[in-house]
Amino acid sequence: MNRDEPRLAVAIVGGLHADARRAAVEEVLRTVPGSIALHHDLSAAADGAVRRSVRDASGSLGSGEAPLVNGCACCALREDMVPELLRLAAGGGHRLAVVELWDSVEPQAMAAVIAAEGAPLELTGAATAIDPALTVPYLSNGDDLAEVGLAAALTDQRTVADTFARQLEYPTVIAVVEDDTSEEPADDGDHALLTQLTPGARQVRVGDGDMGAALLAGFDVEAAAARQHPACALLPQERDDHGVSTFVWRRDRPFHPGRLYEALEDLSCAAARSRGRFWLADRGDTLLSWDAAGGALCVEPAGPWLAALPDAAWEMVPAERRVAASLDWHPEHGDRCQHLTFTSPGLDRDGLLALLDSCLLTDAEYAAGPDAWRELPHAFDKLLAPVS
């Protein structure tokens, strides 16, 4: 790129709470000279198009439509967003373009698209806006997005709760918007829950004038992705504040697949949010991810444990993954371990501890060794591909 070619800083602001999101964007437009906002409204997808709008602090600067791509509104957003940002960059005169995401659009996918384009676009920030009073209602909402009119594609099977959880946990900035006139304004417990769910994120109160600086501070897409990967995720730490607790459970013994499967319903409902990685005795080479919100649990394979890889393959593994593995390394099992976190108001720590420990191999089962473990009932074949 020519050094004289104009560069355009780009920041993402998302979140299910539309009023909070707009308040955060409006503050940026008011306080950052030369800032502009780009928004794609997916609510008209039933009509076969996504509506695009561009505005600055003075009001609307233009609008248009982008046709759906294979019936997918979110795909249309991806296809239209970068060309529009490049057009704004070429026009010059703009210091910062804020991409205001539609309600259920998650920031990680959009950040990757912008970062992949490179110059003249420079991704400098990603934020999710939320009124803390809505954290519990959103995390408790197990409705499918399609049921509440927020699906981004015909095949969208996400729920309100799991979408909201990922929106919270990806960005490095949480834009806090409080409605003090509400009948149920945020209390200390709401703030404690939000803080425990977003370790490492900076909370910025909308109204204090700091949003612009926070979104221009810089953003590392690879580091953000690593923080989300089950093998090296930045998980919440042990906390207990204002009736909200985070319980961190770590063990270096595998789960009995049958006993864990029988306990899944109780475990998935035990907390507003639970995350982590785990080890099944009959699938000793596979790192499994745990992702639960709104009473629904998603269990998926997330690649091999590093201990299952030949030494030569380690050089191809990201540094963040190797560092995370070294912290959990066991002389016999390598990085195979249990690392689950549960965050919720009114959390029953003792009950969780007893239930989780009861799902591990007993001393006799553990002593039988890996060959015997592989012969245990493959209870998770109902959720995962059958063991080969």
Asked if 33 and 213 count as a contact pair (C-beta separation under 8 A), the reply is: no
**What's 8-228's CATH class?**
alpha beta
Strand partners, 49: 67
Q: How many CA atoms lie within 13 A of 371 on its CB side?
A: 0
Look up the CATH number of domain 239-382: 3.30.1220.10
CA distance 175 to 164: 14
Residues of the chain within CATH 3.30.1220.10 domain(s) are 239-382
Arithmetic mean of pLDDT, 223-250:
92
Asked, as a colleague might, if the bond just before 107 is cis with ω within 30 of 0, I would say no
CA distance 113 to 109: 6
pLDDT confidence of 337, banded at 50, 70, 90?
A: very high
How many angstroms separate the Cα of 236 from the Cα of each of 245, 247, 266, 310, 345?
Answer: 10, 9, 21, 31, 14
Asked if 107 and 164 count as a contact pair (C-beta separation under 8 A), the reply is: no
pLDDT confidence of 314, banded at 50, 70, 90?
A: confident
pLDDT in tens, 84-141: 999 999 988 899 999 999 999 999 999 999 999 999 999 999 999 999 999 999 999 9
pLDDT in tens, 136-182: 999 999 999 999 999 988 888 999 999 999 999 999 999 999 987 67
pLDDT confidence of 374, banded at 50, 70, 90?
A: very high
* Of 268, 246, 240, nearest in space to 355 by CA: 268
DSSP state of 82: H
* Of 109, 108, 142, nearest in space to 292 by CA: 142
Residue 4 pLDDT exceeds 70 = no
pLDDT confidence of 1, banded at 50, 70, 90?
A: very low
Residues of the chain within CATH 3.40.50.300 domain(s) are 8-228
Arithmetic mean of pLDDT, 279-290:
97
**Percent of the chain scored above 90 by pLDDT?**
80
- Quickly count: other Cβ atoms within 10 Å of residue 93's Cβ: 9
Bridging pattern class, strands 273-278 and 96-100: unpaired
pLDDT in tens, 62-98: 999 999 888 888 888 989 999 999 999 998 889 999 9
Arithmetic mean of pLDDT, 281-307:
95
Residue 206 pLDDT exceeds 70 = yes
Residue 6 pLDDT exceeds 80 = no
pLDDT confidence of 320, banded at 50, 70, 90?
A: confident
Average pLDDT in the chain? 93
* pLDDT at site 379: 96
Better pLDDT: 44 or 201: 201
* pLDDT at site 69: 87
* pLDDT at site 207: 94
Taking every pair of Cα atoms in the chain, the longest distance, rounded to a whole number of angstroms, is 72
The identity of residue 186, as a single letter, is A
CA distance 75 to 77: 5
Arithmetic mean of pLDDT, 360-370:
97
